[in-house]
């Protein structure tokens, strides 16, 4: 699991989700593909991407250290792990449905 961080995006080698830099009235902000409508700091966007990687790895299901780190990452963006699991599952379902109709 590796995150690739540039000035404009954060991507993962293990998930299709991403973070992108945008501008708003306050200046530079970041958005997560799986959390539309929320603007974040760079640190929060990175935490969101780490969280996505942690929750996307099936080996972490019973890894208490990974789950604790996931909880920490989730709290950095104002969510709990269970909410994020649901959001990511909905994104996956949407991608699968989109692929099936194309």
Least confident range from 1-5, 10-14, 67-71: namely 1-5
Domain boundaries, the chain: 3-101
pLDDT classification of 102: cutoffs 50, 70, 90: confident
pLDDT at 30 over 80: yes
Q: What is the pLDDT of residues 43-83, one digit of tens each?
A: 999 999 999 999 999 999 999 999 999 999 999 999 999 99
Please tell me the pTM assigned to this model.
Answer: 0.91
For 4, half-sphere exposure in the C-beta direction (CA atoms, 13 angstrom radius) is: 10
Confidence of residue 87 (pLDDT cuts 50, 70, 90): very high
């Amino acid at each position: 699991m590796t995150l690739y961080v540039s000035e404009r995006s954060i991507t993962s080698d293990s998930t299709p989700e991403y973070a992108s830099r945008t501008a708003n009235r306050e200046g530079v902000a970041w958005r997560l593909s799986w959390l539309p409508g929320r603007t974040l700091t760079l640190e929060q966007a990175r935490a969101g991407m780490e969280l996505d990687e942690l929750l996307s790895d099936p080996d972490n299901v019973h890894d208490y250290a990974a789950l604790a780190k996931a909880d920490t990452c989730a709290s950095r963006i104002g969510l709990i792990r269970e909410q994020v699991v649901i959001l990511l599952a909905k994104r996956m379902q949407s991608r699968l449905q989109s692929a099936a109709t194309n």
